[in-house]
């Protein structure tokens, strides 16, 4: 880890989504990470919520590590303002590097890529491949349908309460991020009292 207090890996949409609250949430997440002396790790794109969370972190003085496969540099408009931009060979390398750099993971609203990344770190946690905390930012109830489906999967015997409990869901960015950082036993030292 660098000199930052903690690294949070953010998964989110490469599109902005249809509700301005999604953008507001991405800004709040970027601000929170920067104000608490943390580092953002993300997919390195400049569009959609991905670009928004990176821009907000940078504007608030935080470090941003972007990790993007070379085939997506143009397609997802790699963000050349990142503190560190890693152009990697493929998607597997991207995901491995993002996970290695992170102390905690959080999924904001997003599409298939976001869901895939969320479920990958969730299943890795279930299998004991890592023990890093995972959060789901349920902005404007975006993930209500998913959470209802997962509750149904539990009722129907495919999912245990413990597995479901490995991810904490909350609509409030500051509350969720604070809990993740605390769960990871990470330092929120810098500027915490100024928020």
Question: Strand (E) positions, 22-150?
Answer: 39-42, 63-69, 84-88, 104-107, 134-137
* Interface size with ligand AMP, residues (CB under 6 A): 16
Closer CB to ligand AMP, residue 50 or residue 181? Answer: 50
Site string for ligand AMP, 1-40 (x = CB under 6 A): ------------xxx-------------------------
Q: Is 144 in the site for ligand AMP (CB under 6 A)?
A: no
- Nearest of 88, 114, 124, 118 to residue 105 by alpha carbon: 118
Question: From the list 63, 86, 95, 125, which residue makes contact with ligand AMP (rule: CB under 6 A)?
Answer: 95
Instruction: Report whether 94 contacts 43 (CB < 8 A).
Output: yes
Cβ of residue 88: shortest distance to ligand AMP, in angstroms?
Answer: 12
Closer CB to ligand AMP, residue 63 or residue 95? Answer: 95
Q: Which residue's structure tokens are 């599409």?
A: 111
Cβ of residue 91: shortest distance to ligand AMP, in angstroms?
Answer: 5
Q: Is 66 in the site for ligand AMP (CB under 6 A)?
A: no
Angle 20-35/48-59 helices, nearest 10 degrees?
40
- Local structure of 9: helix, strand or coil: strand
Question: From the list 17, 37, 43, 62, which residue makes contact with ligand AMP (rule: CB under 6 A)?
Answer: 43
- Local structure of 11: helix, strand or coil: strand
């Amino acid at each position: 880890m660098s000199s930052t207090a903690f690294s949070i890996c953010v998964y989110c949409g490469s599109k902005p989504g249809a509700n301005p609250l999604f953008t507001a949430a991405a800004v709040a997440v970027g601000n929170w990470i920067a104000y608490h002396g943390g580092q953002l790790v993300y997919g390195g794109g400049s569009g959609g919520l991905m670009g928004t969370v990176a821009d907000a972190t940078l504007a608030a003085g935080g470090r941003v590590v972007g990790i993007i496969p070379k085939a997506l540099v143009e397609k997802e408009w790699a963000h050349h303002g990142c503190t560190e931009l890693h152009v990697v060979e493929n998607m597997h390398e991207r995901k491995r590097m993002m996970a290695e750099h992170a102390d905690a993971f959080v999924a904001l609203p997003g599409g298939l890529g976001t869901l895939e990344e969320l479920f990958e770190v969730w299943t890795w946690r279930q299998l004991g491949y890592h023990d890093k905390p995972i959060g789901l930012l349920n902005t404007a109830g975006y993930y209500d349908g998913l959470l209802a489906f997962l509750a149904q999967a539990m009722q129907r015997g495919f999912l245990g309460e413990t597995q479901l409990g490995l991810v904490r869901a909350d609509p409030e960015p500051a509350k969720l991020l604070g809990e993740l950082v605390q769960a990871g036993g990470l330092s929120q030292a810098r500027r915490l009292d100024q928020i």
